[in-house]
Amino acid sequence: MSSVFCAEGCLTGMTVTEKNQIFRRIRRKIGAPVMGVELLDEQIEECICEAIEEYSSYINDWVLRNRLGEMLGLPSEVDFTLKYVSNSLYLKILMEHKLENKLVLEQMVQGKLKQLQLP
């Protein structure tokens, strides 16, 4: 009963014995033998394939974000995912520049507002 159901064949590199071990383990996690688990091996395999596809998409997204940082020329100490941003001089200069731009913009807006005030 362990034929390859999902079109991608994500379990094709496994032996029948290995597949059966995984299917038995999943059935036990769901509740077998205490509760009757009425799932075909093909249904379990389809769920495994779907989980692998979803996990792969997360990994691919992570790799893309990190490679994008390299392609944009970001320094290696700056993590493009912004999970582990080190407090570096580059980051400090970048934040100071943004703050200066914000202050200049605020001053410009205040100046325009003063010009618009009627006597």
**26 and 48 belong to one structural domain:** yes
In a domain, 102, yes or no: yes
**71 and 94 belong to one structural domain:** no
pLDDT digits (tens, 9 = 90+) for 63-89: 777 676 677 776 666 555 555 545 566
Band (5; pLDDT cuts 50, 70, 90):
very low
Range of the domain at 64: 1-75
pLDDT of residue 34: 93
The number of distinct structural domains making up the chain is 2
In a domain, 80, yes or no: no
- Bond before 75 cis per omega within 30 degrees: no
pLDDT of residue 112: 65
Band (19; pLDDT cuts 50, 70, 90):
very high
Q: Buried b / exposed e across 40-59, counting CB within 10 Å, b at 16+?
A: ebeebbbebbeeeeeeeeee
User: What pTM does this model have?
Assistant: 0.51
pLDDT of residue 100: 77
Residue closest to 85 by CA, chosen among 37, 101, 94, 18: 94
Q: How far apart are CA 75 and CA 91, in angstroms?
A: 10
**97 and 67 belong to one structural domain:** no
The helix or strand, by DSSP H or E, that contains position 114, with its residue range, turns out to be helix 89-116
pLDDT digits (tens, 9 = 90+) for 25-70: 999 999 999 999 999 999 999 999 999 999 998 888 877 776 766 7
The helix or strand, by DSSP H or E, that contains position 3, with its residue range, turns out to be none
